[in-house]
Amino acid sequence: MILSVEDISKSYPQADAGRLTVINHIRFDVKRGETVAITGQSGSGKTTLLSLLAGLETPDSGRIVLEGVDMNSMNEDKLAKFRAQKIGIIFQQFHLMPHLTAAENISLPLEILKADRIEEKTEHVLAQVRLSDRRDHFPSRLSGGECQRVAIARALAVKPAILLADEPTGNLDNRTGREVVDLLFELVTSINMTLIMVTHNLELAALCQRQLLIEEGALQ
């Protein structure tokens, strides 16, 4: 098992009084190399669940164990390093650095991790997402689909244990979104990457080996 989500819950304080339970006793396991879709209506808790898995938020109760390590047992510094090494994230809004080229965006996390052979690794993933010829372009000169391919390359460059994607096609037209997702699945399959993908799109969810449905913070 690469990931064990053990009975996690998360609530937020509400404006008036009391707390809103957003994640309600969720548990599931993910095997190495498995692809899992998380689907559910808007507001059902998908992004919150992914943020918890990414270590960006902390559960109120329960545990998240990635590669045998309880993510809530680490102090902030250790968790930041663990996240950078183990977890690749792809967002709906790409989140590229506008002042860095495609290649520089990809090499940034490698530099933060003080990796070796940064240039070689960057060129390798650029070729994998078929953007070698766009390596020196800034995000403003790239199409949405190309930006998302840079974001995929950036996430994969560090060879994370797990890849998390939150509506990776949400900002793309249907055809481009499908092309990006087809490329994502081609890469994920070829390197046996573990993927958890949030999407409302049931056609995309069906590309994953397993589909989890979340309703009002609970798995159905």
Ligand X SMILES: Nc1ncnc2c1ncn2[C@@H]1O[C@H](COP(=O)(O)OP(=O)(O)OP(=O)(O)O)[C@@H](O)[C@H]1O
- Evaluate whether 145 touches 176 at the Cβ level (below 8 Å): yes
Long-range contacts, stretch 168-173, CB < 8 angstroms, 24+ apart: 168/90, 168/91, 168/92, 168/197, 168/199, 169/199, 169/201, 169/204, 170/92, 171/92, 171/93, 171/94, 171/144, 172/144, 172/145, 172/148
Distance of closest approach, residue 206 Cβ to ligand X, in angstroms = 18
Distance of closest approach, residue 48 Cβ to Mg ion, in angstroms = 8
Q: Applying CB under 6 A, does 40 fall inside the site for ligand X?
A: yes
Q: Which does 44 bind (CB under 5 to 8 A by kind): ligand X, Mg ion, none?
A: ligand X
Stretch that binds ligand X, among 25-33, 40-48, 149-157, 176-184 (CB under 6 A): 40-48
Distance of closest approach, residue 43 Cβ to ligand X, in angstroms = 4
Q: Which amino acid type is present at position 131? A: L
User: ∠76-82-84 over CA atoms, to 5°?
Assistant: 105
Selected from 36, 46, 107, 129, the binder of ligand X by CB under 6 A is 46
Q: Which does 22 bind (CB under 5 to 8 A by kind): Mg ion, ligand X, none?
A: ligand X
Please choose, from the candidates 192, 107, 94, the residue with its C-alpha nearest in 3D space to the C-alpha of residue 149. Answer: 94
CA end-to-end distance (rounded Å), the chain: 21
Select 49 or 126, whichever has its Cβ closest to Mg ion.
49
Select 126 or 198, whichever has its Cβ closest to Mg ion.
198
Q: By Cβ distance, which residue is nearest to Mg ion?
A: 47
Q: Applying CB under 5 A, does 47 fall inside the site for Mg ion?
A: yes
Select 5 or 22, whichever has its Cβ closest to ligand X.
22
Stretch that binds ligand X, among 45-53, 81-89, 95-103, 130-138 (CB under 6 A): 45-53
| Whole-angstrom distance, CA of residue 81 vs CA of residue 4 | 20
Rounded to the nearest 5 percent, the helix, strand and coil shares of the chain are 40, 25, 35
Distance of closest approach, residue 163 Cβ to ligand X, in angstroms = 18
Residues that bind Mg ion (CB under 5 A): 46-47
Residues that bind ligand X (CB under 6 A): 12, 20, 22, 40, 42-48
